[in-house]
Each structure stands twice: as structure tokens, then as C-alpha cells.
Amino acid sequence: MSIDHLGWNAGLADAFAHEYGDALLPARVSLEHRGLYVVMMERGEFQAVATGRLIYDAFDRADMPVVGDWVATRIVGESDPTVTIHGVLPRRNAICRKEPGRRTRPQPLAANLDSLFLVIGLDGNFNLHRVERYLAVALDSGVQPVVLLTKADLREDVEAVVVETRARARSAPVHAVSALSGIGLEALTTYLGVGKTVALLGSSGVGKSTLLNRLIGEEVQRVQEVREFDSKGRHATTHRQMFRLPSGALLIDTPGIRELQLWDAEDGVEEAFDDIEELARSCRFSDCGHKHEPGCAVLEAIADGRLEQDRLDHYRKLRRELAYEERKVNYRANLADRERWKRISKLSKNLKKR
């Protein structure tokens, strides 16, 4: 296996040599599951574990290796080699969401991507708001988003839906495809060249695993049935994993997303809703809330049909979500700062008593 086929290049080689010299070997993470890893390198594919030092030095889980990361490894033994991960190279980009639940911290889903396939099913799962949310996450990371409308064989109005989706997806390409019939799959070859890395992102039941199996040419991922009454499916994929395609591309399959909460995606929201942002610059007041203010260019666009009220409502919702998470992060940071100064003050008092 040539490491160049995994996406290795001169820039990565220079960064690796500067950081690790010849003491360690470069590898790419192809699977991560509950702290265990599989890495690809020139010698092949191996199971690996992170060293205690790497775990200790990581500020939080976001600093630990994820699928797509380039890592520095050491191989011990020949007949039954043990591979340890000693460091992670700086990421070119990473798809992140807020970690599910109450914790306010990022959760990287995949790293070092060339494209991100935003997979939306053309059955009962179809939702333009989901397109906008996924698009904001992709654009904020700097990864090229590509919207895939799967199960195109299930609808007769596919072209109309594609036009509608393109209006919401802004500059992102939109392709209607069917993994079962092969409709539209030829358009994906543009993104799946040798050494290119692409990830699939979508909710359960949209056909990510079926698409992966079709592109590979064999069943490597289990496929679950989708409920007919609401078009929802169970998780067929339970962990993130990178596969090599016959084309030479690397495709990362991810578990179905139940919730994709935004994490520090201010720039992504602005870019995903650049039409609203552009209109807002023409409002009479710089702090216009686009609700009832006079001279509001956004409301004028809604009145004359250039902008849909539904799109503005979703834009506001994502803005509120970002503001809420920012307040929580700031609140926790302030609490931690107060606790730190309490400890310093207590230590100072104890020293004075001595």
C-alpha cells in the first residue's frame, strides 16, 4: 500500500518530519471505536492504541485521534506487532458538532476531508431545514459540501425537488442518486479520485450504507430496513470507519445522526444563509432584528417574494441555538475562573498564616 494513496503529500511529510523526525511512522486512522483504533500505513492495516502520554496531554476528547487523522505511530514486534499512537498531526479541517447531551464541548466526526456528502433521503425523511443545518456545519469546517438526494427512484418529481434544494443549498452541488438503481452515481466520480477523502453525513435510514456498498461493489456495511410509516431507520452503522474504494478514493461512513447541534458555527451559518446576510446589510438600522423595523430589507424581500418566510425562521432558529450554546460556554468558563481564583485566594491566606 502506497501512503500517497491515503492522501499523503509533501506538506504532510514536512510537518511530520519537523515534529517527529525519523523516530516514528506516519499512519492514517481508518476506524475509531471506544478508544480502540485501526490505522493504515505502507506496511498495511493494524489495530492500534493511544499511548498514556497522548491521552494525558489531550485537553479533551476532541484532541484525541478521529477517523481521517494523520498520526505518528510506532510498531513493536514482527510476528504479532503492536502499534501505538504517539501524536496527531494538525488537522486540515474537521467536521464537528456539539457533543450530544448537556456537555458543552465539540465532538469531531471526521478529519482531513476533501468533500462532505450531505445525504438526504427523498422519502419521508426529506427536509430542507436539515439541508441548511448540515450545510452550515460543512461550510464552517471549510470542507466542500455536496448534497446527495438519495432514493431518487422513489419519487416522480425529482427534478422539482432538486431545483428547490439547490435554492437552499446555495453554491453547493446537488445530485439526485439511487444506490439501488444506479441513477446519478456517475456524477460522484468527480469527487472520488485517487487519494481523495470524502465522508457521508446524514440521519438514520437515508441510505448511507447502501450507497457505500454500491460504490465499493460489495456489502461491507450492514443495511437496516426503514419503517414505512415515517421513513425512519435504525442505526446500521455503529461507528465511524474509512473504506478504500476501487476508484482509489477514501470514503468515511458515519452512524446516523439523530441530532446535529451546531458548535461554534457562526461563519458557517453566515455562509449558508448568505442571501439573508447580504439583504441585512441594506437594512436601515445596523442592529435590525428583521421583525417589524421600518426600512428592513429582509422583510421587503419576503413581501415581494424574493425570500421565503420559512427560510428566515430557520435562520433565526440557528442563530438562537448558537447564542444559547455560547452563553453556556461563557457561563461555565466564568464558573471555572471563579473557582480558580477561590483556590488562589485560599492558598494565599494559608501562606500568610504560616
CATH class of the domain comprising 3-88: mainly beta
CATH of 273-354, one of 1.10.40.50, 1.20.1050.140, 3.40.50.620, 3.40.50.2000: 1.10.40.50
Q: What integer pLDDT is reported at residue 333 of this predicted model?
A: 47
The pTM assigned to this predicted structure is 0.82
Structure confidence by residue, pLDDT tens digits, 20-45: 999 899 999 999 988 889 999 999 99
Q: What integer pLDDT is reported at residue 217 of this predicted model?
A: 87
Q: Can you give 263-281 as a three-state secondary structure string?
A: CCCHHHHHHHCHHHHHHHC
| Domain residue ranges of the chain, discontinuous segments joined by + | 3-88, 94-253, 273-354
CATH class of the domain comprising 94-253: alpha beta
**Predicted confidence band of residue 201 (pLDDT cuts 50, 70, 90):** very high
Q: With pLDDT > 90 as the criterion, what percentage of the chain qualifies? A: 60
Beta-bridged to residue 111, according to DSSP, are 94
Using the predicted structure, report yes or no on whether residue 222 has a pLDDT greater than 50. Answer: yes
Contact 236, 224 (CB under 8 A): yes
Q: What integer pLDDT is reported at residue 60 of this predicted model?
A: 72
Contact 94, 66 (CB under 8 A): yes
CA distance 39 to 70: 9
Q: Which of 89, 67, 68 is nearest to 7 (CA)?
A: 68
